Structure 1
Amino acid sequence: MVNSSETARDTRGHDATDYEVSPSDIAVGVIIGRTSEFFDFFVFAIASVIVFPSRLFPFLDPLSGTLWSFVLVLLAFVARPIGTAIFMRIDRRHGRVAKLTLALFGLGTSTVAMGLVPSYDTLGWWAIAVMALLRIGQGIALGGTWDGLSSLLAVSAPREKRGFYAMIPQLGAPIGLIVAALLFSYLVASMSAEDFLDWGWRYPFFVAFAVNVVALFARLRIIATPEFQEQFETRELQATRIRDTVSEDGRAVVVGIFVPLATFAMFHMVTVFPLSWVYLYTEETLTFFLNLTAVSAAFGVLSVVASGYLSDRFGRRNLLMWGAVAIGAFSLLAPVLLRGGASGESAYMIVGFIILGLSFGQSSGAVASMFEKRNRYTASAFVSAFAWMFGAGFAPITALFLSTWLGLFAAGLYLLSGAICTVIALWVVRQLEFRAESSVGSVDDTRR
Structure 2
Amino acid sequence: MSMVLLAVGIAALLLLRVPVAFALLGPCLTYVSLEGYSAGLSVRQATEAVNSFPLLAVPLFILVGVVANRAGIADRMFDFALAAIGRVRGSLGYVNIGVSLGFSWMSGSALADAAGLGKVEVPAMVRNGYPKRFAVGVTAASSLLGPIMPPSIPAVVYAGIAGVSTGALFAASVVPAFLMASGLAATVFLWARRQSGLRGEAFSWSRLRGTGLRVLGPLGTPVIILGGILGGLFTPTEAAAVGAAYVLVLGAAYRRITWRDLFGIARETAATTASITLIVGASGLLAWILARERVPHRVSEALLGLTDEPVVLLLLINLLMILLGAVLEGISVLVITVPILLPIATEVGIDPMHFGVVVIMNLMIGLLTPPIGAVLYVLSPVTRTPVHEVFRGALPFLLPLLAVLLLVTFVPATVTYLPGLLGL
Q: TM-score, normalised by structure 2?
A: 0.33
Q: TM-score, normalised by structure 1?
A: 0.32
